[in-house]
Structure 1
Amino acid sequence: MKKFKLSLLVALSLWFLIAMAACSSNETDTGNDSSSNEGGEWDGQSINVQLIGDFNMEDTTDPITGETTKGLQDIKDQFESEHPGATVEFTIMPWEGYTEKTQAMLTSGEADVYQMPGIADFAAQGVLEPIQPWIDKDDEFSTDIFIDNQVEGWMALGPDSNELEVYGLPFLGDARFIMYDKQLFDEWGVEYLSDYPTMEEVAEKAKQMTGTNPETGEQNYGIWFRGDWSSAFTLINIAEGQGGQWGTGFAWDEIEFEFDSPEMISGIDWLLEMQNFAPEGLVTNQGNEKWLTKDNNIAIMLNQGPGDTIMPAYAQGLDDRIGIVQEFKNDEGIGGLFAGSPITMAKDSENKELAWEWMKFATSDTVQQYVFEEANAMPSVSSVETWDSYAEVKDLMEPTVEAMSTPWTPRYPWASSQPRFILTSEIEAALTGERSGKEALEKAQKESVEWLENR
């Protein structure tokens, strides 16, 4: 009996040791063991990241090309594997109405990190965490990774700031430039646009290529530009090309608009003239249906961006046919809308350390390459020029990266606010003949100043 009891005791002891070893092995595999998690630093911590645009969690397949695009799940898995015990969730919203939706999320404290093109408005509300202190105390992070002027472009004023501060890190890059169809230039016998064209050059060449194509017999148009959504930025850039500007100041109580300046009035008159060499439908974003197709009938496209032009051009096999040159620049080589999206941290985030880890991860090559190769968006980091995927589209990407480094910075403070929409509406009124260009801009100036005073 004693021998049986002793054997049973030994057996139970062995079973217990094996069970403990198995548990230890399981904890290591799942990342729950504190020794594998640097003391469990991220255990139970969770952040919500808000993103805007055409992001998807799961992989998607294009029904026409059959190409598969990776979803954010891959990014989520990698971040969580590098931060054992942590969880990142995403809230994805469309561009339509994003400002109002972001405001609602901030008010209710729904997210920790936000993609935020309208950073100037939100920083002034005191709802965003200043980022410079996080940069200063993190020896492993440097803003040198970004394309020139990307950090400066998103600087903003806080509620008690006297100087511009860093409230976000560049996430999605963007730029504005002029595109043109080399084939149409060749067919008309017109010299290609110079790398830094003037208004006079664009106008002259647009006129020359409006009419019946001498080779194809098809109707061609010399120029196209949006007369609605982005028209305010197009006009501001034309003023910049003449040495003018939208106005001065950054804080709302210091801003002075110059929407009715001589350069702005000359600019809108120029657009009204260019309308004669464009297809109908500018103010409803129409007339450009053949752009980036083999049947294209438009020679010059103003105020274009990379997201919906560069990759489609390569996908259609039109990359050799398309040229990119810079928007209008002032005497210092500066001009054009600073565009894209930074990422910011909510002031009331309960997991700021993890939120900062995500912000760094989002600006790493891992995520930036995902943005470029899977989400069809522009990266903000200078390392893009070393990627194989960049080399494949270098002819169109090279001038795009240059355009990203030379816009007006910091970003127009009113770019996501009511003055933009006031100006846009008045440009539409001029393009539709409701008012003269001068009358439209005088009205835009008056209403924008009134909005500023009553804000």
Structure 2
Amino acid sequence: MIKCSLTKGSSFILAFFLLVLLTLVGCSSDSGGTTDSGASSGGDSTNGESASGGEWAGQTVKVQLIGDFSMEDSTDPITGVKTPGLKNLKDEFEKQYPGATVEFIIMPWEGYTEKTQAMLTSGEADVYQMPGIADFAAQGLLEPLQPYIDADSEFSLDSFIDNQVDGWKALGPDSSELDIFGLPFLGDARFITYDKKIFDDWGVEYLSEFPTMEEISEKAAKMTGTNPVTGEQNYGVWFRGDWSSAFTLVNAAEGLGGKWGTGFAWDEIEFQFNSQEMVKGLNWLLDMQKLAPEGIVSNQGNEKWLTKDNNIAIMLNQGPGDLVQQTYAQGLEDRIAIAQEFKDENGQGGLFAGSPITIAKDSENKELAWEWLKFATSDFAQQYVYETGAFPAVKSATEWESVKEYESLLGPVFKAMSTPYTPRYPWGSAQPRFILTSEIEAALTGKRNAQEALDKAQKESTEWLENR
């Protein structure tokens, strides 16, 4: 009897606890749980997903990025400035998209074109950082984005700085008009930077906001020689004679009313590398070389630039890079100023630079890839871009306190971003760029005169185009 009574009591207690457990589970499912990342699941799921799985459960977007990205935070050993790692983007994206996973594939800039081609061919990623967008879109390897833009009421192209979207437009294999294949991700620009102290030492008036080539020539010549205040050797100007020389030359031609050529599709392009304006521009660079320190062809002679011992007055074709960080770290905020590159009669000129992000045509996860593109161009991700030393591409950046703090430098940079030649030079990541660069180097090293060098660049680039 006692044994029977205890068994019944145990059964009663067990049943009671089961009832309580079921009640708690029911309450939990009705009150909205949290995902593993801590983001609210939003209560009842209309798609039947579990609270712990999320709407994007089991989906992964693979993102290729180019450059010095790192997953973990890092600290500059010299300046002490902390750079956030990609884990910050990963954590926030996975928080905003419950159940989703983002994986990064990071590659260096060296050989990025060939490596990207191999990755696209083998389908290694869903999203690509794509500075060479014109060439890859023409191969049919990228997903057109206009249908996604049209279908997404929460997304607007108006959020981007003027001309940033147009600059990355490209032609698909069957396109007759330029289309959107990428959204601006890393902003960039080119401009002219100068040291006001050297101008003051020589008693030379500062550069105008939109200087001409004649103005640069006149003022650079006046500041080449022994500084009358410091007694140190000064140079009026500096520019890279290697990697970016093609863009420096084309901008000079634009300032003279010329251009690199016409067309956008490869079968419609006609180069004008040996036009009158290009020849005059290269002769101007040869004159500027005489006012620069030795070594510009090997990217030397500018070692003191952006230091307190700087000896160069004017820097052509400067990019933002670490401009602000280094200027303020060196205490040069009252010395460094920016003028705009040469512009044509329409107020446009200079390299359209930076990187867009794109979706691979063969991606099997395009919806999540589109969500990543939106996230990567949101204020959260764009502020991350800014904090890593790159440049944001959204208008809202001009109102960030972290940007307004450096208005004297960053204001002109944002202006430069809105006035480059658009769309991006279609040959900017292709062989004609390297042909032109090689011939500019030949002229700078005295192997050929300007006309001979550019005739050769025109001939070889046209042959490449015909045999492409």
**Counterpart of 1:30 in 2: which secondary structure?**
coil
Mapped partners of 1:24, 1:295: distance in 2 = 70
Report the equivalent of 2:230: 216
Report the equivalent of 1:201: 215
Report the equivalent of 2:114: 100
Q: Is the 8 A contact 1:31 1:37 kept in 2?
A: no
**Aligned residue among 124, 129, 133 for 1:115:** 129
Q: Is the 8 A contact 1:28 1:36 kept in 2?
A: no
**Aligned residue among 405, 409, 432 for 1:396:** 409
Do the aligned partners of residues 14 and 186 (structure 1) sit closer, same or farther apart at CA in structure 2, a change above 3 Å counting? farther
Mapped partners of 1:124, 1:50: distance in 2 = 20
Mapped partners of 1:245, 1:83: distance in 2 = 46
Question: Is 2:201 the counterpart of 1:187?
Answer: yes
Mapped partners of 1:17, 1:312: distance in 2 = 66
**Counterpart of 2:290 in 1: which secondary structure?**
helix
**Counterpart of 2:420 in 1: which secondary structure?**
coil
Mapped partners of 1:311, 1:3: distance in 2 = 80
Amino acid at match of 1:66: G
Mapped partners of 2:452, 2:322: distance in 1 = 34
Mapped partners of 1:311, 1:38: distance in 2 = 48
**Counterpart of 2:303 in 1: which secondary structure?**
coil
**Sequence identity (%):** 69
Question: Is 2:9 the counterpart of 1:7?
Answer: yes
Report the equivalent of 2:154: 140
Question: Is 2:467 the counterpart of 1:454?
Answer: yes
Do the aligned partners of residues 325 and 34 (structure 1) sit closer, same or farther apart at CA in structure 2, a change above 3 Å counting? closer
Report the equivalent of 1:129: 143
Amino acid at match of 2:397: V
**Counterpart of 1:28 in 2: which secondary structure?**
coil
Please list the CA deviations of residues 284-338 of structure 1 after superposition, one character each: whole Å capped at 9, or x if unmatched: 0000000000000000000000013232112222121101010001111110000
**Aligned residue among 35, 53, 63 for 1:30:** 35
**Counterpart of 1:89 in 2: which secondary structure?**
strand
**Aligned residue among 77, 81, 85 for 2:99:** 85
Do the aligned partners of residues 245 and 37 (structure 1) sit closer, same or farther apart at CA in structure 2, a change above 3 Å counting? farther
Mapped partners of 1:158, 1:108: distance in 2 = 20
Moved more, 31-40 or 309-318: 31-40
**Aligned residue among 418, 423, 447 for 1:405:** 418
**Counterpart of 2:286 in 1: which secondary structure?**
helix
**Counterpart of 1:416 in 2: which secondary structure?**
coil
**Counterpart of 1:310 in 2: which secondary structure?**
helix
Residue 61 of structure 1 deviates from its aligned partner by 1.6
Q: Is the 8 A contact 1:37 1:84 kept in 2?
A: no
Q: Is the 8 A contact 2:131 2:356 kept in 1?
A: yes
Please list the CA deviations of residues 389-415 of structure 1 after superposition, one character each: whole Å capped at 9, or x if unmatched: 011111100010000000000000000
Q: Is the 8 A contact 2:79 2:329 kept in 1?
A: no
Report the equivalent of 2:260: 246
Report the equivalent of 2:245: 231
Moved more, 308-317 or 255-264: 308-317
Larger radius of gyration: 2
Report the equivalent of 1:433: 446
Do the aligned partners of residues 246 and 36 (structure 1) sit closer, same or farther apart at CA in structure 2, a change above 3 Å counting? farther
Moved more, 443-452 or 101-110: 101-110
Amino acid at match of 2:407: K
Q: Is the 8 A contact 1:115 1:344 kept in 2?
A: yes
Residue 15 of structure 1 deviates from its aligned partner by 3.5
Mapped partners of 1:91, 1:444: distance in 2 = 36
Question: Is 2:393 the counterpart of 1:380?
Answer: yes
Mapped partners of 2:33, 2:168: distance in 1 = 42
Please list the CA deviations of residues 397-449 of structure 1 after superposition, one character each: whole Å capped at 9, or x if unmatched: 00100000000000000000000000000000000000111100000000000
Q: Is the 8 A contact 1:153 1:410 kept in 2?
A: yes
Question: Is 2:427 the counterpart of 1:414?
Answer: yes
Matching of residues 260-275 of structure 1 within 5 Å: 260-275=274-289
Unaligned runs of 5+ in 1: none
Moved more, 317-326 or 426-435: 317-326
Do the aligned partners of residues 107 and 23 (structure 1) sit closer, same or farther apart at CA in structure 2, a change above 3 Å counting? farther
Mapped partners of 1:243, 1:47: distance in 2 = 45
Please list the CA deviations of residues 72-91 of structure 1 after superposition, one character each: whole Å capped at 9, or x if unmatched: 11110110011111000101
Mapped partners of 2:123, 2:45: distance in 1 = 28
Question: Is 2:293 the counterpart of 1:306?
Answer: no
**Aligned residue among 149, 155, 176 for 2:190:** 176
Please list the CA deviations of residues 92-128 of structure 1 after superposition, one character each: whole Å capped at 9, or x if unmatched: 1111111111111101101000000000000001010
Do the aligned partners of residues 125 and 222 (structure 1) sit closer, same or farther apart at CA in structure 2, a change above 3 Å counting? same
**Counterpart of 2:266 in 1: which secondary structure?**
coil
Do the aligned partners of residues 297 and 227 (structure 1) sit closer, same or farther apart at CA in structure 2, a change above 3 Å counting? same
Residue 140 of structure 1 deviates from its aligned partner by 0.3
Mapped partners of 1:67, 1:431: distance in 2 = 38
Do the aligned partners of residues 346 and 211 (structure 1) sit closer, same or farther apart at CA in structure 2, a change above 3 Å counting? same
Mapped partners of 1:172, 1:302: distance in 2 = 21
**Counterpart of 2:197 in 1: which secondary structure?**
helix
Mapped partners of 1:14, 1:271: distance in 2 = 89
**Counterpart of 2:437 in 1: which secondary structure?**
helix
Amino acid at match of 1:409: T
Q: CA RMSD in A?
A: 1.7
Report the equivalent of 2:304: 290
Amino acid at match of 1:178: I
Residue 183 of structure 1 deviates from its aligned partner by 0.3
Do the aligned partners of residues 298 and 38 (structure 1) sit closer, same or farther apart at CA in structure 2, a change above 3 Å counting? farther
The alignment's TM-score, normalised by the length of structure 2, stands at 0.94
Report the equivalent of 2:52: none
Amino acid at match of 1:82: Q
Amino acid at match of 1:30: T
Aligned residue-pair number:
454
Unaligned runs of 5+ in 2: 50-54
The alignment's TM-score, normalised by the length of structure 1, stands at 0.97
Amino acid at match of 1:108: S
Q: Is the 8 A contact 1:314 1:393 kept in 2?
A: no
Mapped partners of 2:271, 2:46: distance in 1 = 54
Amino acid at match of 1:223: V
Moved over 6 A (4+): none
